[in-house]
Structure 1
Amino acid sequence: MPRILIVIGLLLLLAGLCWPLLSRLPLGRLPGDILIQRQNFTVYIPITTCVLASIIFSFVLWIIRR
């Protein structure tokens, strides 16, 4: 368990350091993501982004477990 927490912490640190590069990716603005804007509120439902992240995460875990 401590090893997993260290790896997760390092990944979060790496993502934080690479944030300027990651913000240029079109994630969050993919076709299929729903954005509803009204005068007083905004609702954002990232359906396509979540599906893509799930596929990538599943593939990475499949590679690690092999």
Structure 2
Amino acid sequence: MFQSVGKILMLFGALLFIFGVIFLIADKIGGKVPFIGRLPGDILIQKRNFTFYFPLTTSILVSIILTLILWILSFIFRRH
């Protein structure tokens, strides 16, 4: 039992480290990841005193990526 918990904690630690590196790099290249939030299908409405932004395509893409990651993790940990 403790081995599987240890593996999960190490995996989350590695993921946090990777995301931390991505955020540090993104901060140095202008504070934004170049493709996030500017995909075709993201909704942007600008009026004089009003701006509405809804990242529809970005949300769908993030959802698909997270679903695949969680599916792979559940497949890996189900076999052991």
Give the alignment's TM-score, normalised by structure 1: 0.71
Q: Give the percent of matched residue pairs that are identical in Structure 1 and Structure 2.
A: 40
Residue correspondences, number = 63
Q: Could you say what the CA RMSD is over the residues aligned between the two structures, in angstroms?
A: 2.6
Amino acid at match of 2:57: T
Structure 1 runs not aligned, ≥5 long: none
Do residues 29 (structure 1) and 38 (structure 2) align? yes
In the alignment, the residues of structure 2 paired with residue 50 and residue 11 of structure 1 have an alpha-carbon distance, to the nearest angstrom, of 20
The structure with the largest alpha-carbon Rg is 2
C-alpha distance in 1 between matches for 2:41 and 2:59: 10
Q: Normalized against structure 2, the TM-score is what?
A: 0.61
Work out the CA distance in 2 between the residues paired with 1:54 and 1:12.
16
Q: Which runs of 4+ in 1 moved over 6 A?
A: none
In structure 2, the gaps of 5 or more residues are 1-8, 76-80
